[in-house]
Structure 1
Amino acid sequence: MLLRGGVPPVARSKATARGMVELHADADQIEAILRHYQVDARIDGGLLGPNVIRFHLRLNGRSEATLACIDALTPEIARALGRPSCRLRTRDGVVFLEVPRLPPPANALLFGDLSARAGEPPADTAILGLIGDGRPLLWRLSNPAISHVLVYGAQGCGKTTLLQALALSLAQVQPARRWRLVLLGTRDEFASLAALPHTWGHSTSREAAIGWLVRLTTELERRLAERQGHPTIEPLPRVLVLVDEAASLAALGGVTVRVALARLLAQGPDAGLHVAAATAEPDALGHLVPAFPLRVVGQSPSSVDWKCGQFSTVADGVEPVRFRAAWVSPRDVALTIARWQRRRPRVAAREVAESESQLVPEMILSRRVRCRA
């Protein structure tokens, strides 16, 4: 049921090369925002430093109004890049955006390293993490025996981060026409994933999350009825539903949430709907817990030998497997978005970019980038 290995570990990419790819992905996001607001400027190069990234801007005409417009957009640019802030600066006649680099938590397994080691997983498969010998631990959602997963553990053990890594590992290789994501958060824990082309729904409050669960039961009924009436029809995209703080949603929504989750867990796989939920209080879910065939428990941060993202599987009839989940940064999401955008045909990308309702940055072929160690 749980796939271990299958793909031998591959060498890690060099940190400098990875930083250059990330720099280009961030530059694409910045230029998309500038184009969207019709700012007559483009990125002409960049400097990758140990703590900050500087994106050099070329302003056509270099008017004060253009500078003021870019300065007003810095909060939105920072949000798009997943940074707390960024600032517009001028030095020696050069205008540049200065963006801080965010360090990962201590001893964290980086998502980029996990992807490099795991390689490309099989179809309909997400990556849980790495087991002790360095092989990837995979979750095959199409296997009915492990079609849903419940992640539980003490506060701060990395439950939400594991959900993010599952979704991103799926979105990295599976096209949006095959897989969709519904991100049911209660705050902004899934904000960075919302920009993925796979994202169908996204909530930032308990009330909105409950509304989406009800909507998903309606989608479940529609799919089952359509399948029964037209058994040979082309299958619809599968959907991975991420539910954070599932116990608090059940407490607030009561019977409505419990019935919706029970239906999705019981009938969802037949309609291509899969649930990955996280909670710090599994006992509060009651009879719903056994409905998750695969359960993952996080190691408590208070443990003496605690490491960031340390988990263990709990599945009926399967020996527990310890593994480390990856830490996902907003830049990992930006890289995935940029990768899918670059796979689109150039003509199609230009046509969509002309629409005011879309942000599809084109590839920048003339950008000059320097790297400082």
Structure 2
Amino acid sequence: MALLAGFAAVCQGVGVAQAGPLALYHEVHQAMGSEFTIDLYAPDQESAERSLELAFEEVDRIEDLLSNYRPTSELSRISREAGAAPVTTDPETFSFIERAVEASKRSDGAFDITVGPLMRAWGFFFNKGRIPSADELSALRKKTGWRYIQLDASRRTVFFTNHVNMELDPGSIGKGYAVDRVVELLRQQGISAALISAGSSSIYGLGSPPGADGWPVNVPDPAHAGRVLSKVVLKDLSLSTGACTEKFFIKNGHRYCHILSPRTMSPVEGMLQTTVLSPSATDSDALSTATFVLGKAGFKSVLQAYPHSSGLIVSGTPRSPAYSMFQWPQPVKLSQSKKEGDRAR
């Protein structure tokens, strides 16, 4: 699923690539089960290191707040208690859940923050992989579903109307939210050019490097290893991808993808990759999952609900891929396959 960030690829340490009064600095940080990287331009190493330290502290703070792996997180507390009575939470966590519920509404449930029990049932949390029984999945229908989340903005409360404790899973939106928070922090620090990547699945290009139009990013072709499908330039824009090239398991010769459809309660079939551009990494993160679930038959509808967003999806199989797009801003290089979709800007 690797999205190749052109500027990040040339940075191997801190303090490389001089560009006028600014220099390019690069740092890596492990968080949220993946690798966060930041490339930024700063006038000197001291200011760069200060900004990088603050940025990664912010990522760690978000993980402490929203992780569903940590029982001490605020999101885990809500999951444990909101089935019994409304739970009052802090403004940031409430706003985050509001964003997630809104994404569920706009995607008609293709994105759903309550899929945690499904992820566990299919064995994706600890990379073991299993096929749950039909009875097990039927029972889980009572424990999942974004429509069971009732929010009261005046009191900042979260309540599960099915009266059972559910598991809120930020996996399809949390990294994007962390990226957005880092972008905001870097702007406050006076950084005008930076590339922030959350495990390469969500990337944000802040401003432009000196003398450039933005941050170049290559979108790989999942059907042809090593081939670039499209080249985009990020300037105050995010890019998120959903794919099953890294997280999956194989049972009895069948490959099961880690992206689940809340409607079928099973791994999505017939999809290879989705890539979404949006001004917000929180939105693009959720949209990359929603469009993956909706597939080429329905992905346009959800993108239309988010102004200034665009998408490029690859469906089918590696041997017979199909490429569809909506308002995609750059050329797409196809190989032995037919292009489908709307290219209007």
TM (norm. structure 1) is 0.28
- Higher RCO, Cα 8 Å, sep 6+: 1
Q: In proportion to residue count, which structure has more strand? A: 2
Q: In proportion to residue count, which structure has more helix? A: 1
TM (norm. structure 2) is 0.29
